[in-house]
């Protein structure tokens, strides 16, 4: 399977998580609709089509634009932290998939958080803290850990670390979806232009 459409959506989500992590870590303003889209994607566990995971796609527009900037050569000097986060989340995904026990723990943990949200009407922040807890029980145990760089005053605030860990989770989920739809690193090198064209097509369709 070589689903360019599905791969492009998943890659956009992955880049979006990376950029949001960087902005939050440095105390910069960030797109809240994009943030919500990324976090909500964790809880669409059963989907026939990738579009069902990301809704109407509007929340993925920042990620689609970031993908175009990086793959389309518009950024002559890509931000090394964005690339570092993307590559790190891809590595986490590979190690997670190989660990069946941890993969099951993650799925069960997300289902439990979803159920708690429905039963107890969790606030968005409370849900983030639960995702953070699940991250620390699972993905944080995978070595080497992802090192998030930024403003230490910002990073010392618990709510921000919860946001960042939840976004790392969302990025790993996106990497899983990307591979499920035929993505691989060598294909990525060969198909960058196709992803740029598809990302622009998606933006044009969403914003029409």
Residue 96: per-residue pLDDT = 96
Residue 46: per-residue pLDDT = 76
Domain ranges across the chain: 4-207
DSSP of 127-185: HHHHHHHHHHHTGGGSSSPP---S-HHHHTSHHHHHHHHHHHHHHHHHHHHHHHTT--H
Before 167, cis peptide (omega within 30)?
no
Residue 77: per-residue pLDDT = 55
Contact yes or no for 137/94 (Cβ under 8 A)? no
Question: What torsion, rounded to 10 degrees, do the Cα atoms 156, 162, 164, 168 define?
Answer: 140
Contact yes or no for 38/13 (Cβ under 8 A)? yes
Residue 80: per-residue pLDDT = 87
Residue 57: per-residue pLDDT = 81
Per-residue pLDDT of the chain (208 residues; tens, 9 = 90+): 458 999 999 999 999 999 999 999 999 999 999 999 999 999 987 777 888 888 778 899 999 999 998 888 655 556 889 999 999 999 999 999 999 999 999 999 999 999 988 888 889 999 999 999 999 999 999 999 999 999 999 999 989 999 999 999 999 999 999 999 998 888 888 899 999 999 999 999 999 8
Distance CA 30, CA 111 (A): 27
| Helix count and strand count (H, E) for the chain | 11, 0
Residue 47: per-residue pLDDT = 75
The b-or-e profile of 24-48 (16+ CB within 10 A means b, else e) is: bbeeeebbeebbebbbebbeeeeee
DSSP character for 50?
T
Distance CA 18, CA 168 (A): 8
Distance CA 70, CA 47 (A): 29
Residue 113: per-residue pLDDT = 94
Residue 147: per-residue pLDDT = 94
How many C-alpha atoms does 102 have within 13 Å on its Cβ side? 17
Q: Which of 40, 34, 64 is nearest to 53 (CA)?
A: 40
Contact yes or no for 153/77 (Cβ under 8 A)? no
Q: What is the CATH number of domain 4-207?
A: 1.10.3890.10
- Greatest alpha-carbon pair distance for the chain in Å reads 49
């Amino acid at each position: 399977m070589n689903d360019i459409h599905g791969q492009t959506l998943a890659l956009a989500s992955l880049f979006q998580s990376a950029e949001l992590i960087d902005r939050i870590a440095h105390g910069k303003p960030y797109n809240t609709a994009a943030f919500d889209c990324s976090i909500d994607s964790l809880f669409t566990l059963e989907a026939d089509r990738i579009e069902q995971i990301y809704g109407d796609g509007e929340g993925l527009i920042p990620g689609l634009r970031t993908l175009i900037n990086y793959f389309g050569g518009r950024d002559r000097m890509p931000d090394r932290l964005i690339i570092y986060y993307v590559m790190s989340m891809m590595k986490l995904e590979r190690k997670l998939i190989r660990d069946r026990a941890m993969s099951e723990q993650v799925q069960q943990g997300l289902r439990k958080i979803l159920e708690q949200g429905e039963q107890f009407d969790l606030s968005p922040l409370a849900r983030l803290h639960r995702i953070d807890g699940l991250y620390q029980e699972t993905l944080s145990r995978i070595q080497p850990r992802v090192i998030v760089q930024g403003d230490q005053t910002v990073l010392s605030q618990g709510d921000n670390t919860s946001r960042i860990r939840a976004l790392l989770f969302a990025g790993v989920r996106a990497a899983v979806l990307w591979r499920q739809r035929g993505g691989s690193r060598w294909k990525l090198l060969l198909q960058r232009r196709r992803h740029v064209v598809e990302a622009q097509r998606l933006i044009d369709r969403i914003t029409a």
